[in-house]
């Protein structure tokens, strides 16, 4: 397969930093991140000394300096020691935002003794929010599972049906963090009448049809998912996985998950298992048949769960370790989910919003589709006329989660 460039084809612009006054980045570092640290105190039963350290972290974020990471036996400690060399004695708000956020979550785990032997070892500080994300979306889960079962029960999987199912599930993957039923058209008796038109009006780049054509014509190859959030969004991703495998569109799916808790709701291997167990406990047979299939896929190695410390590192996507890059190169399609993964793809830098995305994301030798709801001030690949229209209609379009992209990057 043709070897790709290891970096973007264009000169790298400046990274986003928290010191940029009036930006969402500044708001995140000075307000959102302190609130997250304090919510960890409120939602867990950590000892007083841990809570005091979390409060100290929260109070120092707006103007304080990066604290030192000590060896807490975490497997990534040596790597973090190297990453931190460039930013010693600098303030949280003065260093690249992506580094700031990833280090915040890693340092939070040091405080809570996540890696150390003891009663707090392995305790996910965001467990409550993940569980609530599932519990509050039960109606949505039932509706989605019922629809997927209906598609899979059609004996002859014609290409037209496959494309309808795939485009619908791609949209659910995109909007899955909206835990409601707005994706179904007014709860008509025929739930297959998916409100595509309404969804498309808020998708700034929509390569959905190209993606479904690529999948349908892929001769049952391998699909890799770089997963984002647990909760209902993970259910949406697993429904797409279920359909890919159950319809024969894919023969193997690999899920790439986080190696430890990060970005509050990001999914780990244990979250896939806990989600499966949660669904198995349902009294609704439309729901329980879904996790039963997932367990069978896992047992037969058609569904493979894997993690890597790269996904919790501060590195840009083009700094991917060679071993992981080689692993991903065997895929027919990589599905990349979420805002933080999108920021990693673009190095979380100030690219012009109309920059051709394939000139930035040119370092993997297989097609990628990016499903991302915009929640930060970084994006590329927007057509100038689309950009002009959205800037006129919604001043907060970059960060309010109301706009999305389904971007296919196929450098071949």
How would you classify residue 381: left for phi > 0, otherwise alpha for psi between -120 and 50, otherwise beta? left
Cα–Cα distance measured from residue 373 to residue 343, given in angstroms and rounded to the nearest whole number: 12
Confidence band of 154 (pLDDT split at 50, 70, 90)? confident
pLDDT at 256 over 70: yes
**pLDDT tens for residues 42-58?**
999 999 999 999 999 99
- In the chain, DSSP finds a helix count (H) and a strand count (E) of 17, 7
Mean pLDDT, residues 250-267 taken together? 97
The C-alpha angle with vertex 58 and arms to 52 and 61, in degrees rounded to 5, equals 135
Going edge to edge, which strands form the sheet with 333-337? 203-206, 404-409, 368-373, 333-337, 221-226, 250-257, 303-307
Residue 80 is predicted with a pLDDT of 98
pTM of the model: 0.94
**What proportion of the chain, given as a percentage, has pLDDT over 90?**
85
Contacts of residue 48, defined as CB under 8 A and 6 or more positions apart, other chains included, come to none
Cα–Cα distance measured from residue 54 to residue 74, given in angstroms and rounded to the nearest whole number: 19
Residue 210 is predicted with a pLDDT of 96
Using CA atoms of 306, 308, 312, 315 in order, give the dihedral in degrees to the nearest 10: -130
**126 and 40 Cβ atoms separated by less than 8 Å:** yes
CA distances from 94 to 69, 74, 149, 340 (A): 18, 26, 50, 19
**How far separated are the first and last CA of the chain, in Å rounded?**
10
Lowest mean pLDDT among 63-72, 181-190, 390-399: 181-190
Confidence band of 5 (pLDDT split at 50, 70, 90)? low
DSSP string, 57-79: HHHHTTT-BPPPPP--S-TTHHH
CA-nearest of 256, 229, 243, 226 to 168 is 243
**pLDDT tens for residues 74-91?**
999 999 999 999 999 999
Residue 29 dihedral angles phi and psi, to the nearest 5°: -70, -40
Cα–Cα distance measured from residue 68 to residue 81, given in angstroms and rounded to the nearest whole number: 9
CA distances from 9 to 233, 363, 398 (A): 33, 9, 25
Mean pLDDT, residues 19-29 taken together? 97
Cα–Cα distance measured from residue 111 to residue 261, given in angstroms and rounded to the nearest whole number: 13
**pLDDT tens for residues 333-381?**
999 999 999 999 999 999 999 999 999 999 888 999 999 999 999 999 9
CA-nearest of 235, 227, 230, 228 to 282 is 235
Cα–Cα distance measured from residue 328 to residue 339, given in angstroms and rounded to the nearest whole number: 20
Cα–Cα distance measured from residue 149 to residue 242, given in angstroms and rounded to the nearest whole number: 10
CA-nearest of 380, 386, 389, 376 to 407 is 380
CA-nearest of 135, 140, 208, 201 to 169 is 208
**pLDDT tens for residues 290-303?**
999 999 999 999 99
**Helix or strand (DSSP H, E) at 184:** none
Cα–Cα distance measured from residue 385 to residue 352, given in angstroms and rounded to the nearest whole number: 14
CA-nearest of 127, 199, 204, 172 to 335 is 172
Residue 71 is predicted with a pLDDT of 97
**187 and 388 Cβ atoms separated by less than 8 Å:** no
**pLDDT tens for residues 158-212?**
888 899 899 999 999 998 866 443 333 333 344 334 455 566 789 999 999 999 9
**pLDDT tens for residues 300-310?**
999 999 999 99
Residue 371 dihedral angles phi and psi, to the nearest 5°: -105, 110
Confidence band of 285 (pLDDT split at 50, 70, 90)? very high
Confidence band of 412 (pLDDT split at 50, 70, 90)? confident
Residue 191 is predicted with a pLDDT of 38
């Amino acid at each position: 397969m043709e070897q790709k460039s290891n970096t973007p084809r264009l000169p790298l612009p400046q990274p986003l930093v928290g010191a940029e006054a009036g930006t969402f980045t500044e708001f995140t570092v000075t307000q959102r991140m302190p609130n997250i640290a304090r919510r960890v105190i409120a939602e867990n039963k950590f000892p007083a000394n841990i809570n005091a350290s979390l409060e100290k972290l929260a109070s120092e974020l707006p103007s304080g300096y990066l604290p030192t990471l000590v060896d807490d036996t975490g497997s990534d400690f040596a790597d973090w020691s190297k990453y931190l060399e460039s930013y010693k004695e600098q303030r949280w708000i003065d260093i690249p935002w992506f580094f700031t956020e990833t280090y915040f979550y890693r340092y939070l785990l040091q405080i809570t003794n996540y890696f150390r032997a003891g009663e707090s070892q392995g305790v996910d500080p965001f467990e409550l929010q993940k569980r609530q994300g599932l519990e509050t979306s039960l109606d949505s889960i039932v509706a989605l599972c019922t629809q997927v079962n209906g598609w899979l029960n059609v004996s002859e999987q014609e290409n037209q049906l496959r494309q309808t199912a795939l485009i619908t599930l791609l949209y659910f993957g995109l909007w899955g963090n909206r835990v409601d039923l707005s994706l179904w058209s007014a709860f008509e008796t025929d739930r297959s009448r998916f409100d595509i038109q309404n969804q498309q009006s808020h998708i700034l780049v929509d390569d959905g049809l190209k993606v479904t054509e690529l999948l349908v014509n892929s001769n049952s190859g391998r699909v890799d998912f770089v997963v984002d959030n647990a909760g209902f969004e993970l259910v949406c991703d697993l429904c797409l996985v279920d359909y890919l495998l159950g319809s024969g569109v894919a023969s193997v799916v690999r899920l790439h998950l986080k190696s430890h808790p990060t970005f509050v709701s990001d999914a780990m291997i244990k979250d896939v298992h806990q989600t499966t167990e949660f669904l198995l406990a349902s009294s609704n047979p439309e729901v329980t048949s879904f996790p039963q299939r997932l367990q069978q896929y896992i047992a037969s190695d058609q569904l493979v769960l894997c993690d890597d410390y790269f996904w919790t590192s501060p590195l840009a996507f083009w700094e991917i370790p060679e071993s992981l890059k080689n692993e991903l190169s065997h895929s027919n399609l990589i599905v990349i989910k979420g805002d933080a993964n999108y920021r990693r793809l673009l190095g979380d830098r100030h690219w012009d919003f109309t920059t051709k995305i394939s000139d930035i994301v040119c370092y993997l030798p297989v097609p990628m589709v990016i499903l991302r709801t915009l929640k930060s001030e970084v994006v590329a690949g927007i057509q100038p006329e689309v950009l002009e229209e959205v800037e006129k209609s919604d001043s907060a379009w970059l960060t309010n989660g109301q706009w999305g992209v389904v971007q296919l990057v196929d450098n071949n």
